């Protein structure tokens, strides 16, 4: 029996397959049957290692279903393996890391208890929205960056005098890291989001430094695309050249991709933490390296 098993849920089969190939590990697949009431029945096919198992499962929509699948896979792996590591390329609920408004539940605290209870000894995530959230986990955690892989792809575009831009001040450090890797400058816009309605406004005034330059809007994740649309519309008025978007997790909910392109974005580049048309950057190499 192999010393290492890679157990894959439905949401991250491609990444798991690539990781198992790179590590020459035994791949254990999941067969999912969904009943009329919405319940899932999971059956594993393959041998689980007695020493160590790696469960690979992103928690993107349907978030609650993929979360239950992840926890079930971990629990099943723990029945055989002495050590179970959970690789969650996209961690759902990561934005619920603190109590923003009175009475809100900090769901990341709940997830930490659930993953430990299921049997995981360590969690590996990719570009989590907030590292504060990982502080709620009572087990070892590791957040890895997809920025080098994204930058490698951006370089192939041969951009003119590129400038890296964060759509908000919260992503300033990410933009700084991205720019350093690319060998370019960076700036961060100022935005204001209404915590109740979710409406976004750009507060930054005119920017002379973007004129006649190709821009790369960098973010960790794009959900509805509101921030990207507002930022692109603002930047287009500043007479920039092309606007590109680079992100790790492209959820692109409710026609977000269509609205982003309509705003003037030339190309959206994301990783395969969430499968989709824009997911052209493979992160299996960095996951395999960390494991």
Active-site residue list: 191
Instruction: Find the Cα–Cα–Cα–Cα dihedral 65, 70, 74, 75, rounded to 10°.
Output: -10
**DSSP-assigned beta bridge partners for residue 87:** 56, 124
- Burial (Cβ within 10 Å: 0-12, 13-18, ≥19) of residue 45: exposed
Report the chain's terminal Cα–Cα distance, integer Å: 19
**DSSP-assigned beta bridge partners for residue 165:** 187, 217
Q: How far apart are CA 218 and CA 257, in angstroms?
A: 15
24 CB-near residues (< 8 Å, 6+ apart): none
**DSSP-assigned beta bridge partners for residue 187:** 165
Measure CA 161 to chain center: 28
**DSSP-assigned beta bridge partners for residue 202:** 191
CB 134 within 8 A of CB 109: no
């Amino acid at each position: 029996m192999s010393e290492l098993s890679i157990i894959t849920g439905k949401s991250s089969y491609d990444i798991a397959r690539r990781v198992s190939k790179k590590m020459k590990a035994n791949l254990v697949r999941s067969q999912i049957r969904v009943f009329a009431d919405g319940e899932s029945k999971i059956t594993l096919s393959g041998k689980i290692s007695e020493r160590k198992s790696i469960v690979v499962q992103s928690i993107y929509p349907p978030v609650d279903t993929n979360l239950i699948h992840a926890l079930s896979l971990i629990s099943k792996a723990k029945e055989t393996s002495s050590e179970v590591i959970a690789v969650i390329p996209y961690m759902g609920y990561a934005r619920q890391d603190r109590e923003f408004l009175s009475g809100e539940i900090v769901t990341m605290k709940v997830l930490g208890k659930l993953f430990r209870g299921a049997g995981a000894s360590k969690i590996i995530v990719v570009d989590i929205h907030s590292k504060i959230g990982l502080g709620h986990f009572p087990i070892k955690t590791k957040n890895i960056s997809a920025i080098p892989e994204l930058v490698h792809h951006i370089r192939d575009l041969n951009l003119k005098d590129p400038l890296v831009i964060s759509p908000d001040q919260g992503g300033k450090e990410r933009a700084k890291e991205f720019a350093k890797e690319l060998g370019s400058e960076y700036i961060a816009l100022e935005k204001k989001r209404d915590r109740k309605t979710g409406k976004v406004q750009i507060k930054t005034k005119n920017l002379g430094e973007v004129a006649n330059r190709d821009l790369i809007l960098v973010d960790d994740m794009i959900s509805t695309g509101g921030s990207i649309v507002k930022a692109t519309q603002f930047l287009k008025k500043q007479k920039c050249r092309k606007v590109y978007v680079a992100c790790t997790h492209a959820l692109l909910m409710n026609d977000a991709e269509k609205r982003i392109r309509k705003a003037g974005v030339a190309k959206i580049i994301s990783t395969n933490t969430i499968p989709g048309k824009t997911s052209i950057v493979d992160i299996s190499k960095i996951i395999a390296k960390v494991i």
